[in-house]
Structure 1
Amino acid sequence: MRLAYQFKLRLTKSQTTEIERWLDMLRHQYNYLLADRFAWYEQNRCAINSCPIVCHLPEPRDNPDYYSQKRTLPQLKKDRPWYKAIHANVLQDCVKRVDLAFKRFLKGDSNGRRSGRPRFKTKERFRSLTFSAFSKSPIDGNRLNLPKFGWVKMVYHRPIPSGFKIKTATVTRKADGYYVTLSIQDDTVPDVIAIEEVTNPIGIDMGLKSFLVKSDGSEVEIPQYYRKAQKRLKKIQKAVSRSKKGSKNRKKAVKRLGQAHKKVADTRKDFHFKTAKNLLSNHDLVAHEKLNIKGLAKTRMAKSVLDAGWGQFLSILSTKAVRVAWPTAINAGLITKAVNPRNTSQNCSNCGQKVPKKLKDRIHSCPHCGYTADRDVNAAKNILKLAVGHPVCSSAARS
């Protein structure tokens, strides 16, 4: 089981200068390795399925891959001795990032979805580096020991759970400073509650009027952090647009804009964590719809959908359910189940008959059994029934 813990770093001026130097060297190496991949690709590919009779044959050369490019690192340190300051695993991770970006460009991910052509990194776009080798006790109080970099102070606001080991540490430059993300692992597998042993299930229906509505009738109000911050963001964006490109004032305005956007993202994420904790503290099964969030983000509701952050919330909810990293619920082994949203808003949760409604109709009133409830509460009850194995429509309605 892997979890990610993020802490803010308190770097000294010399440490900040050194980490910037490392990032700059890694960026140059990333661009060099990516250019090497593109050079081989352009020389050896053919736009048609057969070559012409007269053509230029490039010099024979093996296709550069992860292992061949990793073998060039010892020679890199001989030719450019300043690269010896960087830990070997950090350099190897740079090669891995190039390999991953190029493979997604040519072959795609596990689902076959291909990414666009990898871009060369500017200083603003190369913002992180990863350490993957640690001593037995890399944390001492509020200090973290980064290999070949030294001890750094961090805001250690929550301890690492017992039994977990630090596997990687990714240092990232953000708008308001540097952060470290610790990837921790525990090989023990928590016992997951069987569906038959569930005693306090709940169904939730995600919405834009309310963030979510529970099957018991209660709801969580939607905060709309981005919409509330739009006026302030617009003012800062105007300052960025009016300043001259390349000037110091523009850089300051861009930094302020980044900090403002990060504040919106952080407050939204904090709300998601607290909402997930409240659900998992009171229920051992949480059922929700399997939403097509990417499709909804292309509609007229895009701003509201992205401001709500359904995808981030459901990801947090499912991760925390398996192993909730709070003092009162370690090794929770709870269940989150995504169900097909088809007809969950249309069918009656009481009798199962279909009651067609438009989006503007917010009250469910069944003419067959007389059941009346809020549209979202009715949907949440149908979602819960699907999760525990009951159909959302009766046999009479299916016939």
Structure 2
Amino acid sequence: MRVAYQYKLRLTKSQVINIERWLDMLRCQYNYLLADRFDWYERNRCSINACPIVCHLPELRTNPDYYSQKRTLPNLKKNKPWYKDIHANVLQDCVKRVDLAFKRYLKGDYKGNRSGKPRFKAKERYRSLTFSAFSKNPIKGNWLNLPKFGWVKMIYHRPIPDGFKIKTAIVTRKADGYYVTLSLQDDSVTTVILSEEVSNPVGIDMGLKSFLIKSDGTDIPIPQYYRKAQKRLKKIQKAVSRSKKGSNNRKKVVSKLGKAHKKVTDTRKDFHFKTVKGLLDNHDLVAHEKLNIKGLAKTKMAKSVLDAGWGQFLSILSTKAENAGLITVGVNPRNTSQNCSNCGKKVPKKLKDRTHYCPHCGYVADRDVNAARNILKLAVGHPVCNKAYRVSEPIGGVGKKPTL
């Protein structure tokens, strides 16, 4: 099982200078390796499908990949001795980032979706570095030993459980300081857990009027953290646009703007974690829709959809349910708002119609409550009732439909 714990670092002035120097050297190396990839790409491709009889043929060279560029690191340390201060694994992670960015540009991800052309990193755009080799006891009290960097102080607010092993540590520069994210692994805990029966299941319908509505009729109000902070963010953004580029005053205001945006992000994430805890404490099965969030983010509702953070919430729900041995089921959202949850007949209605009334059976309910009950029925394959549903499928994956 893999989990991630994040802690804030309390670095000294000398450590801040050192880590900024590391980040700048890694940024330069990233840009150099990316330029090498672009050079090969321009020399070995042809933009047209035919050439004249007499033409210049560039000298072909081997395609630079992850392994060939990683083999250049020893020569880099010989030619530029100051790179010896950086741990080898940190430099190798820089090569891996270049390889991943270029592969997504040419081939795409596992779904075939291609990313845009990779950009060279500006001074403030390379913000993190990854350590992947540690001693046996890298943590002593509230101190963390980073390879070749030394001991750093952190706010150790969450002790690491016994038996967990640190695999990687990502040090990230954010608006309000430096953070370290520890990736932990525990081989003694299995991620697939079997359950004899699931009691008290619930279906949830995500919305913009309320954050979510349960199939039992209760709802959770939507906080709208970004919309509430818009006035303050607009005021700070105006100060940024009025300040002179490159001035110290602009740097201060930009830092203030970053902290304001980070506060919105942190409060939204805290709300998501608390909402997930409330759901999993009271329900063994949570059914939800498989929403096309990227598609909704391109509509007129984009600001409200992104402010709600449905994608982050569903990701947290899936991870926490898997760790707790509970079930999350994603269902097809097609006609969940149109069908009657009592008789199953389709009752067409527009988005402005907020009450569901079925002319076939006379059932009347709130539109979102009716949708939540349909989601629950699709998840368990049975009308909503208080009986327990027996489950024979492995638990923990979103979209895994339990059998009765």
Question: Could you say which residue in structure 2 is the equivalent of 1:295?
Answer: 295
Question: In the alignment, what sits opposite 1:235?
Answer: 235
> What residue identity is the alignment partner of 1:386?
L
- TM value normalised by structure 2: 0.92
Q: Does 1:211 align with 2:211?
A: yes
Q: Is the 8 A contact 2:340 2:358 kept in 1?
A: yes
Number of aligned residues: 383
Residues 201-231 of structure 1 deviation map (CA, whole Å, 9 limit, x = unaligned): 1100000111000011111111000010001
Match of 1:395 in 2: none
TM-score (norm 1): 0.93
Q: Which residue of 2 aligns with 1:373?
A: 365
Task: In structure 2, list runs of 5 or more residues that go unmatched.
Answer: 385-404
CA contact (8 A) 1:349 1:382 kept: yes
1:314 aligns with 2:314: yes
| Whole-Å separation in 1 of the counterparts to 2:152 and 2:381 | 51
- 2:225·2:268 contact (CA, 8 Å) conserved in 1? yes
Look up the match of 1:174: 174
Corresponding residue for residue 337 of structure 1: 329
Contact conserved, 1:198 with 1:285, CA < 8 A, in 2? Answer: yes
Provide the residue aligned with 2:394 in structure 1.
none
Specify the SS of the correspondent of 1:237. helix
RMSD, aligned α-carbons: 1.4
What CA distance in whole angstroms lies between the structure 2 residues aligned with 1:374 and 1:191? 37
Q: Does 1:350 align with 2:338?
A: no
Tell me the residue number matched to 1:326. Answer: none
| TM alignment of 1:14-163, pairs within 5 A | 14-163=14-163
Tell whether the 8 Å contact from 2:26 to 2:91 is kept in structure 1 after alignment: yes
Unaligned runs of 5+ in 1: 324-331, 393-399
For 2:182 and 2:37, the matched residues in 1 are separated by: 31
Distance of 2:285 and 2:50 partners within structure 1: 58
Report the equivalent of 2:355. Answer: 363
CA apart distance, 1:164: 2.1
1:396 matched residue in structure 2: none
Check the 8 A contact 2:341/2:373 in 1, yes or no. Answer: yes
After TM superposition, give the deviation of residue 197 of structure 1 in Å.
Answer: 1.4
Q: In the alignment, is the contact (CA less than 8 A) between 1:193 and 1:334 conserved in 2?
A: no
Residues 276 and 317 in structure 1, CA contact (< 8 A), matched pair in contact too: yes
1:264 maps to which residue? 264
For residues 299 and 260 of structure 1, the distance between their equivalents in structure 2, rounded to whole angstroms, comes to: 26
- Alpha-carbon contact 1:192-1:335 (below 8 Å) kept: no
**Distance in 1 between the 2:9 and 2:77 partners?**
29
Q: Equivalent residue of 1:203, what SS?
A: strand
Q: Percent identity?
A: 84
1:191 CA displacement = 3.9
Task: After superposition, give the CA deviation of every residue in 1:151-187 in whole Å (9 maximum; x if it has no partner).
Answer: 1111111122333211111111011000111111223
Taking the aligned partners of 2:166 and 2:57, their CA distance within structure 1 comes to 49
Is residue 190 from structure 1 mapped to residue 182 from structure 2 by the alignment?
no
Answer yes or no: is the 8 Å Cα contact 1:127–1:172 preserved in 2.
yes
Residue type of the partner of 1:286?
Answer: V
